[in-house]
């Protein structure tokens, strides 16, 4: 069941319960008022009959006889009178007032009180009898029914209008959520280009803006990944082409030479020309040795060599020496203060890559006079790598490349992080990388510091 239907149904249930409670309370009040009214009518009727009987017995009385007394109740709204003789035979009965708009039978049965008839003994002539007065609640109930019907109709109208209004407001308020769910469904087919127009309450506007920002970030990450993938494919293809060229140019001709020299040895042996055989054998050896050299160098290229195989500090010294030789105008300083024992090879390589990319960036983009590199141990077994230069710093128009993004990915994969800020003297750039020295250190770090 959708949220909208659930909300509207709950509100409808509340309204219907209110309607039912209102109806029950009105019914209870009506029952009480009808009973009171009927009791009062019976009491008044009894009083009137007794007074009439007293008047009739008075000397020189001109009061009406018992039959007339019964007919005095003709057209009465609440009472029905009957005259019964001493043999129990009904002699005459009053004609009660019929209600103009009678109430439904179920309501009369529900509301009408069961009151015993009132008996008043009478004497007429030489005989005696009694007058029976019975309550006739139909007119009273009809009156209550009229009021109840109007009240319930007004309440029902109120409930219907409230339900319609609530339905309208809820539908409008939830429309942005429906748009959001449709947009999420559309991401599968349309990708991260889907955007929503902020609308509705402030909470929903924030939700929509959050969705748009998330789509923007995912779109950017997807483009970045695609570019990386394309680059990777291009590099692989270039590598394969180079290998094919090497195999063709450096191995192919020498294999052919080996085949020719072997055929020459065979021919010389067949004709008994043994003097030529040593020269051909020596040529084969030269060709094979040439090929061995090439195969070794190709293997060296194929095998992923780690720059830190020789240790982190020596590898960094080589790197600095490499740049110092090419950029003598820049002063490079290197300060390695970490204990390499217990530091994982993968962590050392990440540190090396951070220094490599940051120094390359400084030389390439910063025109610095000085580049300082420091590697030290931070709290919680973290390795802090800091590279700062005094160059031009990050320009406002700098376009993100793969270098810094790649470093962020490498560091994040091992539970570290990268910070790029203006250099310490307010010039240049300072790149600081934080990295757990081992997986154990990574596990030790509290999540808040991640
Ligand atoms: N030390 C620095 N001084 C000045 N600008 C820098 C420095 N380091 C980075 N930048 C700026 O930041 C941008 C992003 O650097 P990043 O290394 O991500 O990409 P890149 O060097 O341009 O390309 P590549 O993908 O080849 O690394 C650079 O283009 C440059 O404008
Ligand atoms: Mg770069």
CA-CA distances (angstroms) from residue 221 to 118, 216, 217, 336, 369?
95, 9, 6, 34, 35
Six-digit token pair at 402? 């793969």
DSSP 340: -
CA of 353 to the centre of ligand 2 (A): 11
How does pLDDT run across 294-322, given as a tens digit for each residue? 888 888 777 767 889 899 999 999 999 99
For the chain, how many residues are written?
Answer: 450
How does pLDDT run across 3-16, given as a tens digit for each residue? 778 888 888 898 88
Return the pLDDT at 57. Answer: 74
Ligand 1 binding pocket includes 361 (Cβ within 6 Å)? yes
How does pLDDT run across 321-366, given as a tens digit for each residue? 999 999 999 999 999 999 998 899 999 999 999 999 999 999 999 9
Tens digits of pLDDT across the chain (450 residues): 777 788 888 888 988 898 888 888 888 988 999 999 999 999 999 998 888 878 877 765 555 677 888 888 999 999 999 988 888 888 889 998 999 888 898 888 888 888 999 998 887 666 778 889 999 999 989 988 888 888 888 888 988 898 888 888 888 888 888 888 899 999 888 889 999 988 878 888 899 999 999 999 999 999 999 999 999 999 989 988 988 888 888 888 999 999 999 999 999 999 999 998 999 999 999 999 999 998 888 887 777 678 898 999 999 999 999 999 999 999 999 999 999 988 999 999 999 999 999 999 999 999 999 999 999 999 888 999 999 999 999 988 888 888 999 999 999 999 999 999 998 888 999 999 999 988 766 666 655 443
Return the pLDDT at 164. Answer: 87
CA of 72 to the centre of ligand 2 (A): 116
In this structure, are residues 46 and 124 in contact, taking their beta carbons and an 8 Å threshold? no
In this structure, are residues 134 and 117 in contact, taking their beta carbons and an 8 Å threshold? yes
Closest CA to 375 of 366, 386, 360, 364: 386
Distance of CA 186 to the CA centre of its chain: 16
How does pLDDT run across 150-159, given as a tens digit for each residue? 888 888 898 8
| Nearest CA, atom 1, ligand 1 | 362
Ligand 1 binding pocket includes 366 (Cβ within 6 Å)? yes
Ligand 1 binding pocket includes 429 (Cβ within 6 Å)? yes
Ligand 1 binding pocket includes 396 (Cβ within 6 Å)? no
Return the pLDDT at 78. Answer: 92
In this structure, are residues 415 and 436 in contact, taking their beta carbons and an 8 Å threshold? yes
DSSP calls for 38-76 = HHHHHHHHHHHHHHHHHHHHSTT-----HHHHHHTTTT-
Return the pLDDT at 444. Answer: 62
């Amino acid at each position: 069941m959708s949220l909208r239907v659930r909300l509207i149904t709950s509100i409808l249930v509340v309204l219907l319960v209110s309607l039912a409670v209102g109806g029950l309370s009105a019914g209870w009040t009506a029952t009480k008022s009808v009973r009171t009214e009927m009791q009062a009518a019976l009491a008044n009727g009894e009083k009137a009959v007794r007074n009439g009987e007293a008047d009739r017995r008075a000397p020189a009385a001109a009061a009406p006889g018992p039959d007339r007394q019964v007919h005095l109740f003709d057209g009465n709204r609440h009472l029905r009178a009957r005259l019964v003789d001493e043999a129990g035979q009904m002699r005459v009965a009053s004609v009660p007032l019929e209600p103009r708009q009678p109430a439904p039978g179920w309501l009369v049965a529900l509301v009408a009180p069961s009151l015993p008839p009132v008996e008043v003994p009478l004497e007429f002539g030489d005989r005696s009898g009694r007058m029976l007065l019975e309550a006739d609640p139909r007119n009273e109930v009809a009156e209550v029914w009229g009021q109840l019907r109007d009240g319930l109709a007004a309440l029902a109208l109120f409930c219907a209008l409230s339900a319609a209004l609530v339905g309208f407001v809820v539908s409008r308020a939830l429309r942005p959520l429906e748009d959001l769910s449709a947009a999420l469904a559309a991401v599968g087919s349309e990708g991260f280009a889907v955007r929503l127009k902020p609308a509705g309450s402030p909470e929903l506007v924030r939700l929509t803006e959050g969705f748009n920002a998330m789509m923007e970030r995912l779109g950017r990450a997807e483009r970045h990944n695609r570019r990386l993938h394309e680059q990777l494919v291009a590099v692989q293809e270039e590598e394969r082409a180079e290998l094919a060229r090497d195999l063709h140019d450096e191995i192919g001709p020498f294999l052919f030479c080996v085949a020719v020299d072997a055929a020459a040895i065979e021919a010389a042996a067949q004709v008994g020309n043994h003097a030529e055989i040593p020269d051909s054998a020596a040529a084969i050896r030269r060709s094979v040795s040439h090929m061995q050299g090439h195969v070794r160098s190709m293997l060296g290229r194929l095998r992923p060599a780690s720059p830190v195989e020789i240790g982190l500090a020596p590898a960094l010294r080589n790197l600095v020496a490499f740049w110092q030789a090419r950029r003598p105008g820049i002063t490079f300083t290197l300060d390695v203060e970490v204990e390499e024992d217990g530091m994982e090879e993968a962590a050392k390589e990440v540190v090396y890559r951070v220094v490599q990319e940051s120094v390359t960036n400084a030389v390439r983009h910063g025109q610095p006079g000085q580049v300082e590199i420091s590697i030290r141990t931070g709290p919680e077994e973290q390795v802090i790598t800091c590279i700062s230069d005094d160059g031009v710093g990050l320009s406002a128009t700098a376009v993100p490349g793969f270098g810094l993004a790649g470093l962020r990915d490498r560091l994040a994969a091992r539970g570290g992080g990268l910070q790029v800020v203006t250099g310490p003297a307010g010039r240049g750039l300072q790149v600081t990388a934080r990295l757990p020295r081992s997986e154990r250190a990574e596990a030790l770090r509290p999540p808040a510091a991640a």
